[in-house]
Structures are given as C-alpha cells and as structure tokens.
C-alpha cells in the first residue's frame, strides 16, 4: 500500500512513479476538492497516476520520457473532470462536460498564473491543457495529439480498464497500488449517475459522443426512467439529413 511522503502525494514503490510537486499542482488539487466530489477527485488522481506510469511503460512515450512535460500531464489529469463540478455556477447549460472542464481549467490556470508568473510560457502550455481535457474522452483523436495530451487520455483509459489495458501495460500489482492510494469505492455508481444526469439536464451535448449511451441504457436516473424519452430525442436529430439538406440548399445558390 502506498504511503504518504512530505509532498502530501503518495509514493509508489511498486509502480516507481512520482507526482511532481509545485504550487500550481497543489492549488489545482485543492480546487478540484472544493468543487467536485471525493469520488471524482480520486478518479482524477488514479488517472493521473496511470498516465505517469504509462509514460514509462508505453514505448512511444518511454523513448521521449525526459521531454514530456509531466507537470502539464498532472495538472490536466487532476482537473480533467471539472465538467462534473458540484458547484453548478462553474458549468454551462449548453456545452459538453469536457469543454466545460477545459474552460474551467483554463480560467483556473489564468487566475493562478497571475501569482506564478511565467507558468504558461507564451500560451502553448495553456492550450495543451485545454486540449488534453477537452479531448480526453475522444479515442479517435487524443492519442494522435502531443504526448502530454495522449498520456492524459491513456491514463483515464487505464483507470477504466486497469490490468486489462492493451498490451498488459498495467500490472495487477501496479493497479492495486494506485487504487489503494486513491480508492475507487462508489465510482461505478457515481459515473452512471453523472452521465445519466448529463443526458437529463443537457441532452443535446451528449448526442454526438459516448455519453448518450448511458441515457439509452440507464435513462435519466440510472434506473431506466426517461430512457424512451431520451431515445426519441436522439432519433429525432437526423444529423445526416440536416447536412444533406444544408448542402442541397448551397447547391441551389451556385
């Protein structure tokens, strides 16, 4: 089991990973704890730990490990689910939760950078944090972005897949060590409730991504309530027909 070290982050003798310690990372963790649930925070910390592990174990990252901006990876990982904030004034009514999370993280970093001058280095790091969070659930894009963006995505994948992560990159012992440090008790139920809540509260933001699958399977409350209503809303989108109609209208103008 992991033990606490002076930085307040656990140490991981089996996995051999170490969380970088900086003012902005500590502030980000405090911010996440203040505005999300402990279950969400633990998921974000597990995902971050797995990202640090995969930085060493996946060949495409191990070859450039010293070049990877681990502070950026950790910052993005800790803040990646701010779109699930319990402080509802932080989240929008019309954006995907990933975009909400990216915007919240950006605003936090900008505010913090006023007291930690030079963190952003011309805007590139801030943009990459935004990308890492906004794209963290998009498996067809995130792996092909910068290493830091890809690692955030893979770390989150590893929290869902554990030792079943492709290629055996996460051992059972490593997985147990991370989960002992950041327990996953209640995570499955909380995830279902959160995703179903998004389908209920802002369904239009779920229709083009995997969140809609929770509404189709579990309804608005995780127990099936509203499932058929959600299905009808989704079936009424007719996205292909809309695009075809718009293109036909443009053709008539030519």
Instruction: Please report which confidence band the pLDDT of residue 136 belongs to, taking 50, 70 and 90 as the band edges.
Output: very high
With a pLDDT cut of 90, the percent of the chain lying above it is: 83
- Is 35 in the same domain as 137? yes
Three-state SS sequence of the chain: CCEECCCCCEEECCCCECCCCCHHHHHHHHHHHHHCCHHHHHHHHHHHHHHHHHHHHCHHHHCCHHHCCHHHHHHHHHHCCHHHCCCHHHCCCCCCHHHHHHHHHHHHHHHHHCCCCCCCHHHHHHHHHHHHHHCCCCCCCHHHCCHHHHHHHHHHHHHHHHHHCHHHCCCHHHHHHHHHHCCCCCHHHHHHHHHHHHHHHCHHHCCCCCCHHHHHHHCCCCCCCCHHHHHHHHHCCCHHHHHHHHHHHHHHHC
- Cβ partners under 8 Å of residue 175, min gap 6: 162, 163
The two tokens of residue 185 are 């008790």
- Final residue of a domain: which of 150, 185, 220? 185
- Cβ partners under 8 Å of residue 127, min gap 6: none
Instruction: Please report which confidence band the pLDDT of residue 118 belongs to, taking 50, 70 and 90 as the band edges.
Output: low
- Is 57 in the same domain as 25? yes
- Is 203 in the same domain as 82? no
Instruction: Please report which confidence band the pLDDT of residue 79 belongs to, taking 50, 70 and 90 as the band edges.
Output: very high
- Final residue of a domain: which of 185, 211, 245? 185
Helix pair 70-79, 38-57: axis angle to 10 deg: 150
What is the per-residue pLDDT for 1?
Answer: 47
Has residue 64 got a pLDDT over 70?
A: yes
The overall average pLDDT reported for the chain is 93
- Final residue of a domain: which of 168, 185, 202? 185
- Is 107 in the same domain as 204? no
- Is 133 in the same domain as 207? no
- Is 221 in the same domain as 246? yes
- Is 164 in the same domain as 193? no
Report the domain count for the chain: 2
- Is 57 in the same domain as 145? yes
Q: Are 177 and 15 in contact (CB under 8 A)?
A: yes
Domain that holds residue 199: 189-253
> Which tens digit of pLDDT belongs to each residue from 197-231?
999 999 999 999 999 999 999 999 999 999 999 99
- Is 173 in the same domain as 203? no
Has residue 60 got a pLDDT over 70?
A: yes
Torsion angle, alpha carbons of 75, 191, 102, 8, to 10? -20
CATH of the domain at 145: 1.10.3210
Has residue 121 got a pLDDT over 80?
A: no
Has residue 3 got a pLDDT over 50?
A: no
What is the per-residue pLDDT for 115?
Answer: 62
- Is 135 in the same domain as 204? no
- Is 40 in the same domain as 81? yes
- Cβ partners under 8 Å of residue 63, min gap 6: none
- Is 223 in the same domain as 175? no
């Amino acid at each position: 089991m992991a033990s606490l070290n002076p930085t307040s982050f656990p140490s991981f003798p089996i996995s051999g990973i170490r969380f970088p310690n900086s003012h902005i990372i500590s502030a980000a963790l405090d911010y996440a704890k203040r505005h999300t649930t402990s279950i969400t925070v633990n998921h974000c910390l597990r995902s971050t730990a797995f990202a640090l592990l995969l930085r060493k174990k996946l060949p495409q990252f191990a070859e450039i490990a010293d070049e990877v901006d681990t502070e950026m990876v950790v910052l993005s990982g800790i803040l990646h689910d701010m779109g699930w904030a319990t402080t509802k004034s932080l989240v929008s009514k019309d954006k995907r939760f990933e975009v909400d999370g990216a915007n919240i993280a950006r605003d936090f970093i900008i505010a913090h950078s006023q007291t930690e001058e030079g963190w952003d280095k011309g805007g590139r790091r801030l943009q990459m944090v935004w990308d890492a969070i906004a794209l963290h659930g998009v498996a067809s894009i995130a792996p092909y972005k910068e290493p830091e963006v890809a690692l955030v995505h893979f770390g989150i994948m590893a929290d869902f897949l554990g030792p079943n992560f492709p290629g055996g990159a996460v051992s059972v012992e490593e997985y147990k060590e991370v989960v002992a440090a950041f327990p996953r008790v209640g995570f499955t139920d909380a995830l279902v409730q959160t995703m179903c809540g998004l389908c209920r509260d802002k369904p239009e933001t779920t229709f083009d991504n995997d969140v809609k699958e929770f509404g189709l399977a579990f309804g608005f409350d995780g127990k099936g309530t509203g499932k058929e209503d959600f299905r009808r809303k989704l079936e009424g989108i007719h996205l292909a027909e809309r695009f075809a109609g718009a293109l036909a209208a443009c053709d008539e103008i030519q």
